[in-house]
Copies of this chain bind each other. A is one copy, B any other.
Amino acid sequence: MTASNLVKLKPGDTIGILGGGQLGRMLAMAAARLGLRSQVFSPDPDSPAFDVVQRATCAEYADVEALELFANDVDVVTYEFENVPAATAMVLAARRPVLPAYKILETTQDRLIEKDFISKLGIGTADYADVSSVATLRTAIERIGLPAVIKTRRFGYDGKGQAIIRQGDDIAQVWDDLGTKSAILEAFVPFEREISVIAARSASGEVECFDVTENEHRDHILKISRAPAAIPEALAAQARAIAEKIAAALDYVGVLAVELFVVPGNGKATVLVNEIAPRVHNSGHWTLDGASISQFEQHIRAIAGWPLGKPVRHGDVTMTNLIGDDILSYEQWLTVPGATVHLYGKGTPRPGRKMGHVTEVTPASRSSTEAR
């Protein structure tokens, strides 16, 4: 295993990307713009990322022979999703640097471990409790109160594997429906808004944050992001400091997203961390068109051992996700002045499937949350 701080790619070198979705696709395109090649590993023959690379590996994540051949072809390995199986990462890490380090996944793949990690850093989260049975769920509800949110500890995303519990709900039924023995109960946070910080950290410990982004979800899926968030600079600075602290504590290399709630306080709002995504993130897609350097490029720079960029935002930016049948309106979006349309090359527009996004940049009117 090669130490991450030894990675220093040259133009023409190859990045191995685990996962062939739109994030892998946009990572590969960012790498190409920097003169780097990418090889994508994905079990899905219809992977959108396959379209933008010369070399692809279509194999299961448990296919050790395919993983070894893949590792031989690339100079560094990264991933577009946090649920990389530990065994997959270990096979690769034995041969090539894997960045971010896969041991970070042990923290972020489990909501309970993640929350404990954040709390130990002295960073605020919603109240939470470990739940492994109806009995422990009842005890947790007594302490935390209702409404509250029950979530599986692992493999949840876009609202999957979670449910709100309200006064009067049948607790035993809720527990049965969740279908797990490892869950976490979280207090329902009466948030004023949801924000996120996209932070990049280099192997040498340098950190660059993009302007704090404000996010709107529909049906638990991100619908709209706006940058900069309409929050006071002090709060934005607090959010960025949290992201930096988390990145440093994880000895993180690459781009990391931290989702936070803004909670109204006694005359002064505060932030609580909702979750960490150890990867490029949908709420950072605005950086592709709204800033001089995108989150994808920052990630590539970080894992390539190249200097992080100093992104400059081009104005006020709004990113709208095209989810499911939203994609059918792509021709209307093509005619909107100033709109930049991204289509991910996916076939069927199933409900909830992220098919593309649109960025709109207008001259800066909201104040920037940073001036670096």
Residue positions of A touching B, CB distance < 8 A: 11-12, 25, 29, 32-37, 50-54, 56, 289, 292-293, 301, 306-307, 309-312, 314-315, 327, 330-331, 334-347, 356, 359-361, 363-364, 372
Closest to A52 in B: B32
**Top 3 closest pairs, chain A to chain B, by CB:** A35-B343, A310-B337, A312-B338
Nearest CB on B from A44, distance (A): 14
- Quick one: which of B310, B314, B347 contacts A361, CB cutoff 8 A? B314
Contacts of A372 in B (CB 8 A): 337
Whether the pair B292, A306 counts as a contact (CB closer than 8 A) is no
Q: How far is the CA of A372 from the CA of B337 in the complex (A)?
A: 9
Number of this chain's copies in the complex: 2
Which listed residue, B56, B306, B311, touches A331 by the CB 8 Å rule? B306
Q: Which residues on B sit within 8 Å (CB–CB) of A311?
A: 338
Q: Write out the residue numbers on chain B whose beta carbons fall within 8 Å of the beta carbon of A363.
A: 364
Instruction: Say which residue of B35, B37, B343 sits within 8 Å of A33 (CB atoms).
Output: B343
Q: Are B343 and A34 closer than 8 Å at their CB atoms?
A: yes
A339 to B301 CA separation, bound complex (whole angstroms): 14
- Residues on the B chain within 8 Å of A315, using CB: 314
Q: B361 contacts A337, CB within 8 Å?
A: no
List, in ascending order, chain B residues with CB within 8 A of A25's CB: 32
* Residues of chain B within 8 A of A310, CB atoms compared: 335-338
* Chain B residues in 8 Å Cβ range of A339: 292, 309
Contact present for A11 and B330 (CB under 8 Å):
yes
A312 lies within 8 A of B361 (CB)? yes
A32 partner residues in chain B, CB cutoff 8 A: 25, 29, 51-52, 345
Q: Which residue on B lies nearest to A339, using beta carbons?
A: B292
Q: Are A345 and B54 in contact (CB under 8 A)?
A: no
Distance in angstroms from A54 CB to nearest chain B CB is 5
How many angstroms from the CA of A92 to the CA of B354 in the assembled complex? Answer: 36
Q: How far is the CA of A336 from the CA of B311 in the complex (A)?
A: 9
A364 to B361, CA, bound (A): 14
Contacts A35-B356, A54-B56, A310-B337 known; list 6 others, CB within 8 Å.
A29-B33, A51-B54, A52-B52, A53-B54, A293-B340, A309-B334
